[in-house]
Amino acid sequence: MTDTVGLPRGWASATLPDVIGPQGLLTDGDWVETEDQDPDGDVRLTQLADIGDGVFRDRSARFMTQERAAALGCTFLEKGDVMVARMPDPLGRACLFPGSTVPSVTAVDVCIIRPALPDVDNRWLMHTLNSPAVRGAIAQLQSGSTRKRISKKNLCTIPLPVAPAAEQCRIADNTESYLTRLDNAVALLKRVEQNLKRYRASVLKAAVEGRLVPTEAELTRREGREYEPASELLKRILVERKARWIEDAAEKARAKAEDKARKAGQLWTAQDDAATLEKERAKATKQYAEPLDPDTTELPDLPEGWCWALLEQLTFPATSGSRGWAQYYTDDGPLFIRAQDLKMDALTTVSIAHVSPPVDAEGMRTRVQQHDLLVTVTGANVTKAAFVRHAIGEAYVSQHVGLCRPVLSATAEYVHLWIVCPGGGRSQLLEAAYGAGKPGLNLQNLHELIVALPPLIEQSRVVDRVGAALSAVSRQQATADSSRARVLRLRQAVLKWAFEGKLAKQDPNDESASVLLGRIREQHRARRGTTP
């Protein structure tokens, strides 16, 4: 096949079998079952995970014995073999086998291509297979309903733009020069992203250790004024917590009594209302349990004016959603916040489900309010937390999300910072979640979370400074993401230009690809002992 329509001068179109010489190889890897493998074997079994997009990843650690490989008739790899992944991701990615200190074979879903001709550059062939045009053709020929794959048979039907032998080397050299620079740019972006993560963690750590902004104690001494230390703030919060808990309990009991009287046909007067409230307030006062102070014997010293507090002291009793709410899913209506909606320290409403629960549903008690703190308590996202900064309308949480409602909304954002801080709340929660084989958190774990609490005005300064720092981190991350996407586009462009004849200089004295392909055909005929 030597069609040259649309190709650079001297090029030709051919398929993989056309560029494989008589001594070459074009075959799938071997079908090696688990029972064929031996961790003490001396033959390495490379797999799909080892095949990168233009790079051998060297990830697998599977082995078998020489005897078993011989019994299975395995094909042994040679340095420079082109390896093509017949399964995603991405489908059809190709790399060169770099060689190994031990004999190596590969799995059946990897195609081995070995031209074994001085006139066919293996590097050029690999880049050709990774080019956008060929990758697109592979996608058109994929099969499989659940696990997409490309068969060797279909792979061998795809037309390849074949350059003259000398130009193949120039293309490969120039392509690798460009791709190396792009790979270096990606490596630099990865370092930038790691540095951003470290900076973010250091900002949060400094914030909750009193090192990010001047402490209120320092400022008041300098300015000659008074301030409310965190210990007094905590006393004020506890007084408010008790009063509101008692009032809420009394009101619920009063409403229940009124409902019962009306259902019985009894008259309910304002005097009944007042008397019932007074009675229930007295009862709730006796029932109220003051949260215990944290055990600080092994905790480090805090900055002046700070104190240790339990999350239970700072919030009303934590709760979580109820099971079975999936039956209330609907296309619109109140939001239903699930564990996957908490992304590190942010609440995303992109994929949040909607529910339409009946008014008497048990989970109605988990209606979310502005300033609430949400923490995932089960699953892969355990310990991720979000602060409900703005009112989001009617919303409820699933059973995988713990809801904590701060007594004093002004403390909510700082407490959220403490929860998400490595070395602070997150470390405590992770230890609780994974200690002794526990699969997740329970509400008691949230109650027992110990918080380093600064004075209220200092909390505000900490939150503002953290917000400014993390906004800068987000901008830098967005720039890095944009640069990474641009590098990916440039990589594809380089491969596209390479096989449009735009990346390497063309030499009119080069032997044309059609002559090269004709010579390969003659070699095959000679091997078979036939004549044209």
> Which CATH fold would you assign to the domain 293-454?
Adenine-n6-DNA-methyltransferase TaqI; Chain A, domain 2 (3.90.220)
Looking at residue 405, its pLDDT comes to 94
pLDDT for 487-506, tens place per residue?
999 999 999 999 888 989 88
Comparing CA positions, the residue from 348, 356, 364, 296 lying closest to residue 331 is: 356
Comparing CA positions, the residue from 384, 396, 393 lying closest to residue 347 is: 384
Looking at residue 26, its pLDDT comes to 96
Count of C-beta atoms within a 10 Å radius of residue 447: 18
**Cα pseudo-dihedral 275, 281, 286, 292, rounded to 10:** 180
pTM (predicted TM-score): 0.77
Looking at residue 349, its pLDDT comes to 66
Q: Where are the domains of the chain?
A: 12-164+511-528, 230-290, 293-454
Q: Is 292 helix (H, G, I), strand (E, B) or coil?
A: coil
- 451-456 mean pLDDT: 97
pLDDT for 100-154, tens place per residue?
999 999 999 999 999 988 889 999 999 999 999 999 999 999 988 778 899 999 9
The mean predicted confidence, pLDDT, of the chain is 91
Q: Which residues pair with 365 in a beta bridge?
A: none
- 256-284 mean pLDDT: 92
* Lowest-pLDDT range of 16-30, 162-176, 302-316, 362-376: 362-376
pLDDT for 52-93, tens place per residue?
999 999 999 999 999 999 999 999 999 999 999 999 889 999
Comparing CA positions, the residue from 41, 28, 174, 197 lying closest to residue 114 is: 28
Is the pLDDT reported for residue 344 higher than 70? no
Percentage of the chain modeled with pLDDT above 90: 72
Tell me the CATH architecture of domain 12-164+511-528. Answer: Alpha-Beta Complex (3.90)
pLDDT for 398-431, tens place per residue?
888 999 999 999 999 999 999 998 878 888 998 8
Find the radius of gyration of the CA atoms of the chain: 34
- 26-42 mean pLDDT: 95
Is the pLDDT reported for residue 527 higher than 90? no
Fold matches, 12-164+511-528 and 293-454: yes
Count of C-beta atoms within a 10 Å radius of residue 337: 28
Distance between CA atoms of 382 and 339, rounded to whole angstroms?
8
